[in-house]
Amino acid sequence: MTELQKSEIVGTPALNNVYIGEMDMWPLESPEFNRIYPFYDNLRAGKFTTTKCKKCGHITFPPQVICPKCWAEELEWVELPQKAKVVAITETQAGAPLGFESPLIIAWLTFDHPALKHLIGRIIHAKEGEVKEGDEVKFVTFSVPANPVEVKKDTKICDRVFYAFEPVKK
Ligand SMILES: [Zn+2]
């Protein structure tokens, strides 16, 4: 079996040998491919945001391109709280999926916000067994392997970022 090399071929990126492009589970975050791209721009600025309807005031998470309550397309970006409390957790101690390291910690989080009461989130920067129910965690961003994409026959490197939560150190 030949070793996977970082490919110059657009559409089959090896993603720095983390996994093959076809197994990529992260969204393309540029305006050409994603209508909620401001969410990712906001992540790069350290902001946890979502969309609010300018007509009826309804806030949704994850962000939308149309209001699910009144179908208006006029939405604005609003900030969400960056701290949450752990309600329950699950840890994958070995055998995490490709692109993730063990322990892979997924938590049910609760927020002090009328529109975002609960969220299933990933917790990073924590050791196995470190996170407990009732702990406080805070929003954090991390970089995702870049993905080369073709935009009208010009290859563009799509830098990517995503969010998770990390323990608040006492
Ligand atoms: Zn609305």
**Is 70 exceeded by the pLDDT of residue 1?**
no
Q: What is the predicted pLDDT for the residue at 98? A: 78
- For the entire predicted model, the pTM comes to 0.84
**Is 80 exceeded by the pLDDT of residue 4?**
no
For residue 53, the CA-to-ligand 1 centroid distance in Å is 5
Q: What is the predicted pLDDT for the residue at 15? A: 58
For residue 49, the CA-to-ligand 1 centroid distance in Å is 17
For residue 118, the CA-to-ligand 1 centroid distance in Å is 21
Q: What is the predicted pLDDT for the residue at 26? A: 85
For residue 127, the CA-to-ligand 1 centroid distance in Å is 42
Helix H or strand E segment including 38: helix 37-44
**Is 80 exceeded by the pLDDT of residue 150?**
no
* Cβ contacts of 159 within 8 Å, gap of 6 or more: 29, 143, 146
Among residues 161, 157, 144, which one has the least CA distance to residue 18? 144
Mean pLDDT of 18-47: 87
Rounded-to-integer distance, Cα 59 and Cα 2, Å = 49
Mean pLDDT of 117-133: 96
Confidence of residue 153 (pLDDT cuts 50, 70, 90): confident
Rounded-to-integer distance, Cα 24 and Cα 156, Å = 17
